[in-house]
Structure 1
Amino acid sequence: MKTSKTPLTRPRGRPRSFDRNTVLDRAMRLFWLRGYETTSLAELLKAMDVTTPSIYSAFGDKEHLFLEAIKRYIDGPGRYQADALEEKTAKGAVTRILSQAVESMVDPLTPPGCMLTLSAINCSAASASVQQAVTEARRQTELALCRRIERGIAEGDVPAGTDAAALAGFYATFLYGMSIKALEGVTRAQARAMADAALRAWPTD
């Protein structure tokens, strides 16, 4: 049985030309919707509307295609998390993250939830490297939030003595759970109410 790291068979013939970003967006949506392991190469070829030699020359194998799709997600639909950290206060940053997460995760024009949470949630040992890459991407996102909270403590808009790592972990965990709720069909109003409840956990003096 082939693993996800097995390169695509290189057929003869001239590869078809295509817009790389367009087909990568299509792959991203499919991985986001179905997950890494349950998405077959045949489904990818159909969704991306490319030939096997074209996808081989552009991405090499399914794993590398997935990793590029993850980066595309972080720089695209998931960009709101990094952008929100530019808010003037740490609480403002978290408020914006939760608000935009709700809009993103229940948007009917995109797959539900967060791709970083859902696309590699249950991988076999054969896909351990993929799961590790996604886990590291989530860790970096949480670390960036932790650093923003630490900055808030230093600047005085977060109470002194606040455990920045624990607070960042709390909101990261909330977002993971919201992805599952989005997958289950939570409404926008319900998701907003949950986000408001999470914000009430923000530390006060």
Structure 2
Amino acid sequence: MRPREFDLDDIVDAAMQVFWQRGYSATSIQDLVEGTSLGRSSIYNAFGSKHELYEHSLRRYQELKARKIAVLFEPVSVKERVRRLLMDVVDEELGDEKGYGCMTANAALELASHDEAVAVIVSQNYNYLEMVLYGVFCRAQENGEIASNKNARALARFVLSTIQGLRVLSKGCLGQNRRQLLLDVVDVTIDAL
């Protein structure tokens, strides 16, 4: 048996770009061959199937995006931390000239309702962000930044849904008002904390 002459992480990164751009259903094996520079047999031998490669790609995307929540631990007020997190989403959406969007949101909309494996990956990602937000809000309640009578778990879910809502709203709203529309959502969310 000949040893592999490629790095699996590099292949997953390349495949992630293809899936992110095209979506799962619109991506063919030929697209993956061209995007990864691997032959069909090498893709199947290394990953088993297009779907398994997609799962690896989605997890890789989430690993890369997980670093963005570090803003929630900065030494500023909780409202400023959440604002920075939301503004990162707004800036990402407004700067997305190719229209890729968020691969996790795309997976949720395209596949999660009928693909259990993808639903689990998406759910794990959302649960992780909810858990981080919940911890941040609990600490903010302890130090008096957020009223103690507010439900920290519900606030975490609200911010999570705001993030995903910003992503979907951004795709469906084009034109000059797009930035202001997204900023209005950010402002109302911060006011709710």
Fold-level similarity (TM above 0.5): yes
- Cα distance between partner residues in 2 of 1:55 and 1:125: 26
State the identity %: 27
With the length of structure 2 as denominator, give the TM-score of the two structures.
0.80
The one of 138, 147, 150 equivalent to 1:159 is 147
- Cα distance between partner residues in 1 of 2:10 and 2:167: 25
SS state at 1:108 partner: coil
CA shift for structure 1 position 118 = 1.0
| 2:108 matches 1:117 | no
Does structure 2 conserve the Cα–Cα contact (< 8 Å) formed by 1:105 and 1:179? yes
Does structure 2 conserve the Cα–Cα contact (< 8 Å) formed by 1:27 and 1:44? yes
SS state at 1:200 partner: helix
Q: How far does the alpha carbon of each residue in 1:55-84 deviate from its partner, in whole angstroms, 9 at most, with x for none? A: 23432322332222122212224531x212
Which consecutive residues of structure 2, in runs of 5 or more, have no partner in the other structure?
none
Q: Which has the higher helix share?
A: 2
CA shift for structure 1 position 98 = 0.7
Counterparts of 1:34-183 in structure 2, within 5 Å, are 34-80=22-68, 82-88=69-75, 89-108=77-96, 111-123=99-111, 127-183=115-171
- Cα distance between partner residues in 1 of 2:113 and 2:90: 32
CA shift in 2, pair 1:178/1:93, >3 Å: same
Q: How far does the alpha carbon of each residue in 1:33-69 deviate from its partner, in whole angstroms, 9 at most, with x for none? A: 3323332323222222211232234323223322221
Aligned-CA RMSD value: 3.0
Does structure 1 conserve the Cα–Cα contact (< 8 Å) formed by 2:29 and 2:40? no
CA shift for structure 1 position 95 = 1.0
